[in-house]
Structure 1
Amino acid sequence: MSTEESSPKPEPTPISAPISSIPQKRALEDDHQPTVSSPLNPDFKASKDDVPLARERASRAKKESLKKRESKGADSTRATPDPKASTQKHKKNGTVLAPIRYKLPPPKITDFEAPRGPVFTLSHTKTTGPFETQFYETTDHVYNKKNYHYTHCIADPAFPSSLYYRQSETEPFGARLNFEDTATHMFLDKAAHSVTTEKGFRMAKANVGVREGRWYWECRILSGIPRDGMHGTDQSPRGHVRVGWARREATLDAPVGFDAYSYGIRDVAGQKVHMSRPKDFFPIGEDVREGDVIGLEINLPSQSLHRKIVEGHYNPAVDLEDDGNAPTDAPDIIRDRVPIRFKAHLYFEQIEYHASKELEELMNPSPVISSNGGLAGGGQKPSPTHTCPALRTLPHSSIKVYKNGREIGTAFKDLLAFLPPASKPLAQVGAREGLDDGMLGYYPAVSVFRGGAAEVNFGPSWWYAPPDWRSNDDDDVDMAGSDQPRTSKLNRLRAVAERYDEQIVEDIVYDIIDEVDFWMQDGGVVGGATNGIRPSGGVAMQDESLAGGGIREILQDDE
């Protein structure tokens, strides 16, 4: 991605008020008297002994945080976050954190218009057996590459404290392949359910990811290994297809199962692939051919158990079961993002999570000496209690495979954990480790190769329903006093399409939480922004030098 700026880049938000006037959350002490003033107690006068103590604590925390950011290098093409512009709300490893706040110019009138999807240009029509699909080249949208992740956003006057911007969606609505999370030089249909390419292996991920529970989707091979007698005189390339589940960090310019961040099934001999190591899985002599439907079921433990594992609190002698009905704490979601413009589109730009050195070393089949002076991962196999968080696995996790409604078996068990610190962002200015942005998880993924084509189905209407499929209507008829225990939401097999609605709700909740947090930074003032500065003397929202411009614009090259 080559990045150019058509307007002055956003600058860090300055603090116009002294730090002692901004309410700081702190640990409770024996003396419940506040050490600093607040909007609820403006007339409080701290003693001489208390003020230096409060300033010393705040200053020490901020200097440490700033030093960490400076030590990770700089990226002159990106907006620079202001470490002083965030209120302290969340705690990670003893450090209090909240979303980074940026100084931005006011939104344009067009920023309040609903976001639009890509432009479709007809490429070709592919016919295989009874299936005919029109494939289009998609343009005028950004790609998740070059270490950044993008989600659509829109300006909304109901969110003045967060500079009017909130997350949004584009057509076609619903669970589908993600235009932004698809490799370049791929062709999709207008519903974003079918995909093909004329190049080598490339991957497309869904726009929904799963974090806990049992989920199912299926994929039909439109073009691949031909059935006997189906290819006739057609000499066009049939290509190959791989299907599976992939994490955020999985590279798009490779097949599913290429690295440690994805698990795939290849059409040739029906082999399972992880870290580029194919192993026999389907019955001998059985391929995945054109017209076949491959069903993929993933089973993930609860996020509460997942957090125990990645934080090093998991005890296999105690945590024997994962009760999906047990109450759990809500995940601590912190999204560091800034709005940017790409052609006629608005996006939130976030620093992407990147491949860890430990998992890259794990892929090497030769026992080489790693940078830490030992074998990759310390010579230990991945496990729930591994010393390295990136190499910790999830008990009770698996991927089960079906073919045309027939269960083939469990292809993978003990999947690798993905919650921080198992996942880390790329080290650069603005990147903070240990934070969960709410979009980490396993995503349905399809890879195609030189004419291979596939169609995805995220339910809940299936081509071949799995044997234990129960729809929501079936679950609603369970009666009290029945001999059969009610299936928990965590254990019930669900369609990936259901996850789309859940993600929308989560985005709305997280946007509101961020808005309230920024509103509290400004002393609880609703609206009333004058020249970009809150009347309360809070955070300055706009610099005069940016008043005539707009938010930063970017350019991407399709390489």
Structure 2
Amino acid sequence: MLVRGPSPAREDSPASTAIPLTAAPVHHAHNNKKRKHNALASHTATASPAPSEPGSSSLNPAENVVLPSYHDLATRPRLTISRHPVFVPLDERSPYNSTEQLAFNRIGFRYMPAGLAPPGTTLPFRTIESAPAASRVSWEDRSPFVKVTQDGLGLLGEKGFRSARCNAPVREGKWYMEVAIECGGGERQADAPPNKEGAHVRLGWGRREAPLNGPCGLDGYSYGVRDKTGEKVTLSRPRPYGRAFHSGDVVGMYISLPPLRQPNKNDQHDPAHVHRERIAIEFKGQEYFESLEYPQSKEMIALMDFSRKPADSAPVPPSTKKSATVKNVPERGRGGPAKPEPPPSRALPTLPDSNIAFFVNGESQGVAFRDLYDFLPLRAAANARKVAREKSRAREGTRQHKENPFDDGCIGYFPFISLFNGARVRLNPGPDFAFPPPPDVDALLSGRAKNEDDTRTWRPLSERYTEFMEEQWALDATEEVDARVEAAQRDELQRAEDAKKEKRERKRTQADSRKRAKREAELAAAAAAAPAPLPEPSASASYYVPKPEPEGEPKPDIGFTEPPAALPMEEDMRFGPDAPLPAFVLSGFAGDEGSPVPTGASTPGVQSGYGSELGDAEIDAEGDAEEVDVEPEEEEEEEDPYDPYRASNYRSAMRMEMEEDE
């Protein structure tokens, strides 16, 4: 048994107690197992009014949506008891109603009322009750074809067998309740056609995996008794048990379960560990916890196979004759790949010393069932856990439902009532019964002597509801503590990550500073070692022009012993770097061996026309050069020292000198 926690104080508000009678269209929750939820999705819908507030009768029907993010929840009312479903009476005089604006448990999905948690908590939602807060039929855990009274104790069936479960499961201990048959046992309605079957009832105990659109005892997840014959039934196999019951009878239902098994702390995959997988959603103005329902195991489904062969029967050997109509292809023939072996069946554990018994008008019918199947989920195989982990990694960033291989605290055996063709019953969870059983029911069923002190060993089911809600609030408190620890760990990891990031940024900044300083030092050293650049010539700079010699000074001897008799013609001269110089040139510099050939520009008092800016000049008798106003020529490239035109320039200068001397 879970540790009981203090029950939170209930707020007495009109939103928690009012019961409207306004009809509204029914829109069931969408049944899609691949639905994904984003826990922080933005939601702009305003808070829905409470049933007693104005506008409660005009709720806009909508599909179930994920609740808004935390900062948008301040606009929603904070309830401790969920809004009551909208009751629509079948007619003006009928006490039975259909319920709308409600999330019914569907195949594969389960719903439980949720509400905003108190301020200052880490988790935004918590489990809350639904009115009336007492043991009754569950508003959500029943077929919509089962009509109810507003106190949740009167039930009316329609059409075929439809079922409903009560709102608190039995997980351990001995419990008892009564069901009064108002219409059953094959009774016909006054206006029913003669060929129509009468009303029938099946009563018993069932788990959450038992389908609501079938009768009690349909499979191994429920155990029941039939009103028509008094037979007991499970796995759809009727067996003789007790006497039949009809309209006006009171049937007592008794169940005895062993103490709840404690989980193995060293086995993290033990299904006895309590863990809840649920997502808070909004459905038509009411918050719900939505979770995947436990699926039916293939081992339990295999028990329903009536055509199974005995285990000791030998298989028929395959025939070696080929079929005339089927080709021997690899996929279908004998040469095809072998099919993988199915996973081994898991053992279906049972609850030792457990039993179910029924009473009719206070008369014991004996033990109907012993050693019930354990309600804990079967242990998940290792490969199934691996696939679940891979799927969870692939879905990272989104909230998606996943199967829960552990006990969620809401499993057990529920009172299970099935009604057929207009059958009516009324529940009596106690503590006052029409036919109370003896204090020690087990002694009566086993035939042993009763207790001497005459103490009661069983409890009325009415006490189970309060105990169950305390268990749920204790789980809420445990999850809140775990959430705070996880939040503190996340904050610590975030701070450590921020510190590491800051340290990396600081090291990066220091490294960049060192690199910048090193680069600047290298640039400064390179600039100091480089030679000083030459000054750029200014626009006002001019080429050098030699000054004319002063008058009266003798002209220097240019070194010629005698003028040449005749100069060779230019066409007779050989050009090129290997051509010899003329004889008159060599004779004039006979004393200067190894010296370069003089030019007009290098001779004192002679101005050369090559490379000068003067252009064509007139040389007067005193040797002065008079500049002629002509257009300046473009600067020519430097001449090759072996260029023949260099010699011709030289001869022109010599010719002018000789003319002056004459």
Q: TM-score range by the shorter chain?
A: 0.5 to 0.7
Separation (CA, whole Å) in 1 of partners of 2:72 and 2:453: 55
Please point out which of 340, 343, 355 is paired with 2:281: 340
Given candidates 109, 117, 122, the residue that maps to 1:156 is 117
Aligned pair partner of 1:112 in 78, 84, 87: 78
**Structure 1: how far apart are the matches of 2:70 and 2:36?**
9
Pick from 290, 294, 298 the counterpart of residue 251 of structure 2: 294
Partner of residue 135 from structure 1, selected from 71, 75, 96: 96
Higher strand proportion: 1
CA distance in 2, matches of 1:10, 1:506: 27
Q: Deviations over 1:315-340 (max 9, x none)?
A: xxxxxxxxxxxxxx996321111110
Amino acid at match of 2:486: Q
Decide which of 112, 115, 130 is 1:170's aligned counterpart: 130
- Alpha-carbon displacement from aligned partner over 1:339-364 (angstroms, at most 9, x marks no partner): 10110211011111011111111011
1:152-190: CA deviation from partner (whole Å, max 9, x where unpaired): 01012346311x210001111100000100012221011
Distance 1:233 1:516, change over 3 A: closer
* Larger relative contact order (CA 8 Å, sep ≥ 6): 1
Q: Distance in 2 between matches of 1:457 and 1:239?
A: 21
Is 2:471 aligned against 1:506? yes
**Quick check: 1:367 aligned with 2:289?**
no
Letter of the 1:431 counterpart: K
**In the aligned structure 2, how far is the partner of 1:416 from the partner of 1:209?**
15
How far has the Cα of 1:431 moved from its partner? 2.2
Instruction: Determine if contact 1:159/1:166 at 8 Å carries over to the other structure.
Output: no
* Separation in structure 2 between the aligned mates of residue 355 and residue 512 of structure 1, nearest angstrom: 30
Residue of structure 2 equivalent to 1:146: 107
Instruction: Tell me how far apart the structure 2 counterparts of residues 444 and 416 of structure 1 sit (CA, whole Å).
Output: 16
Please tell me whether residue 393 in structure 1 is matched to residue 350 in structure 2: yes
The answer to whether the aligner puts 1:188 opposite 2:148 as a matched pair is yes
Does the aligned pair in 2 maintain the 1:390–1:422 contact within 8 Å? no
> What is aligned with 1:457?
428
* Cα separation, 2, equivalents of 1:358 and 1:457: 35
Residue 365 of structure 1 and its aligned partner are, at CA, apart by 1.4
The answer for the alignment partner of 2:417 in structure 1 is: 446
Q: Which amino acid aligns with 2:185?
A: I
**Preserved CA contact (<8 Å) 1:153 1:168:** yes
Equivalents in 1 of 2:462, 2:92: separation in Å? 27
- Identity, in percent, stands at 33
Amino acid paired to 2:373 = L
Select the structure of larger CA radius of gyration. Answer: 2
Aligned to 1:268: 228
Tell me if the contact between 1:213 and 1:492 (Cα under 8 Å) persists in the aligned partners: no
Structure 1 spans left out of the alignment, 5+ residues: 14-76, 80-101, 127-132, 312-328, 375-386, 471-482, 525-532, 539-559
CA contact (8 A) 2:184 2:200 kept: yes
Instruction: Verify the 8 A CA contact 1:224 1:452 in the aligned structure 2.
Output: yes
TM-score (norm 1): 0.61
* Match 1:121 to one of 88, 98, 103: 88
The aligned residue for residue 295 of structure 2 is: 354
Shift of 1:213: 1.0
Unpaired stretches in structure 2, ≥5 consecutive residues? 1-27, 41-63, 316-343, 392-399, 442-450, 496-662
Residue 232 and residue 265 in structure 1: after superposition, are their counterparts in 2 closer, same or farther (change >3 A)? closer
Please tell me the residue identity of whatever aligns with 1:177. Answer: V
Question: Residue 280 of structure 2 aligns to which amino acid in structure 1?
Answer: P
Report the Cα distance in structure 1 between the residues aligned to 2:369 and 2:31, rounded to whole angstroms.
43
The aligned runs of 1:7-22 (5 Å cut-off) are 10-11=37-38
Measure, in 1, the Cα distance between the counterparts of 2:379 and 2:237: 22
CA contact (8 A) 2:31 2:106 kept: no
Shift of 1:110: 2.2
> Number of residue pairs matched?
383
* Separation in 1, partners of 2:477, 2:454: 33
Query: Structure 1 residues 469, 189: closer, same or farther in 2, change over 3 A?
Result: farther
Output the CA distance in 2 between the equivalents of 1:171 and 1:336.
25
SS at match of 2:488: coil
> What is the one-letter code of the residue matched to 1:117?
H
